Amino acid sequence: MTSFLVLLAVICSILLGLVVLVQNPKGGGLAVGFQGAQQIGGVQRTTDFLEKATWYLAIGVFVLCLLSASQYASERPDAGMPETEAATGAAEGGGDTTATQ
């Protein structure tokens, strides 16, 4: 499940990068190529689509990163602890593993 979420996050990140690169920082972007279509509103629809796609993809990447991190943490309960603390915690709270006779 974690691998699937990471794969989705990578795909969304690549798409987000492509959508951002298509945009022009001054508001033109891909819409500049459609100068003749201004009468029918093609330019405005293109810029609206690119802006919405940017927001949706950014939110998607954020949510997928949070979900994959929580999924990874639930699969490995000691994932957040350094190795020395994990070993100490296991020795202190893990009970006595020596045989008593």
Q: Is residue 17 a part of any domain in this protein?
A: yes
Average pLDDT on 41-50 reads 72
Instruction: Provide the token pair at 34.
Output: 């459609």
pLDDT value at position 88?
A: 59
* pLDDT grade for 17, boundaries at 50, 70 and 90: very high
Say what the pTM is. Answer: 0.60
pLDDT value at position 1?
A: 81
Q: Answer for the pair 57, 64: CB distance below 8 angstroms, yes or no.
A: no
pLDDT value at position 46?
A: 77
CA–CA gap between residue 61 and residue 10 (Å, rounded): 8
Q: Is 24 helix (H, G, I), strand (E, B) or coil?
A: coil
Structurally, the chain folds into a number of domains equal to 1
Q: Is residue 53 a part of any domain in this protein?
A: yes
Q: Is residue 95 a part of any domain in this protein?
A: no
Q: Is residue 92 a part of any domain in this protein?
A: no
* pLDDT grade for 84, boundaries at 50, 70 and 90: low
